[in-house]
Amino acid sequence: MVDHTTVLIAGAGPAGLVLGNLLRAEGIATLVVERASREQVQTRARAGFLGPGSARVLTRHGLGAGMLHKGRPHGVCAFRGADGEFELDYSRLGRGEVHTVYPQQDLVTDLVAQYLDRGGEIRFGATATGVDSGTATIRYRDEQGENVVSGRFLAGCDGGNGITRQAVAAHRLTQDHGVSWLAVLAEAPQSMAAVTYAIHDDGFAGHMARSPEVTRYYLQVPPGDDPGAWTDERIWAALDTRMRTDEFGQLKQGPIIERRIVRLRSEVADPIQHDRLFLVGDAASLISPSAAKGANLAIMEAEVLASALISALRHDDERPLAAYSRTCLPRVWRAQEFSRWMIDLLHPHEDAFHRALRRARLDSLRDCRAHQDFFAEHYVGI
């Protein structure tokens, strides 16, 4: 027996849940298939910086109550290096916009509750084993055995390692940036008011607030490094060195509650649609975390796809669906370009020529208003 729905969604992350909520608000039948449990989905610590565009999408569609209540505006970032530190108040540059710091697990918790309240269905613990883009069908396995679900349309929101991206016959452009980060969550309050990027010959280090009790840190490490080899003591020692705490003040330390390796790589599928299947978020394009664009791209694409699906289902007009790739991919590439720009800025180079170029870029970012406006506009926008 095959279960049927109107829009079948693979993945209960921000992409799938925003899409599902927007469709349910229009009374369109949806079903989300998610391999993790509800608890896992709602506790996965991921990105926490929502751009102004994402905040507007969530607010416009009645999905931003938690963000508006508990999110914190953030409009300053700092760069540290051998030549000292400077801050950019990007809330006063470019378009004068800011990020909202709201942990992704909190956003996902909000979106799950609202989706279920709107009559949506999520099948947690369902591992997809096959996808057919022509019939918008997913085969999955759960505790009850093998199952098949289908829809009129299928949205692939199951991430860069999900099964739906493999079903799209697309040309894929990939780039391994040759850089890996140790992503660390510390049970400690933030040590400085601004997001801080530390540039050091030992490698990059970053400080990003997540909540009053938890702070995200990044450490550049050799590709293939074992996160288990990084003890709490080793992590704090490396952060002290690279963030130059002897010069700028000590970090507020606490237990390390998560450590994992993040390999900085990019991938873009073109097109991001095939037959009745449409890719959203990381399933459509992977982007390095160097510029906090992943979740924001996912939310943007979810709104575009929801509008196109509503046009097809409510007004019998499939032209916006046909243009989905053409609408989204230019913004994906602009985000990729800025992410690459940040990678080049933050990481050390072995040769003197590129080290001098990086120093010149930092000098320009510190002193040139036009350069600062460019940075601010691209840092918060897509």
Active site residues: 74, 197, 289, 293, 379
Distance CA 363, CA 79 (A): 11
* Cα–Cα distances in angstroms (integers) from residue 32 to residues 11, 13, 261, in the given order: 6, 10, 29
Q: How many C-alpha atoms does 19 have within 13 Å on its Cβ side?
A: 35
CA-based torsion, 261, 266, 270, 272: positive or negative: positive
Reading the block at residue 322, the tokens are 């046909």
* Cα–Cα distances in angstroms (integers) from residue 256 to residues 71, 102, 344, in the given order: 23, 20, 28
Distance CA 95, CA 63 (A): 24
Reading the block at residue 154, the tokens are 């299928």
CA-based torsion, 378, 98, 289, 127: positive or negative: negative
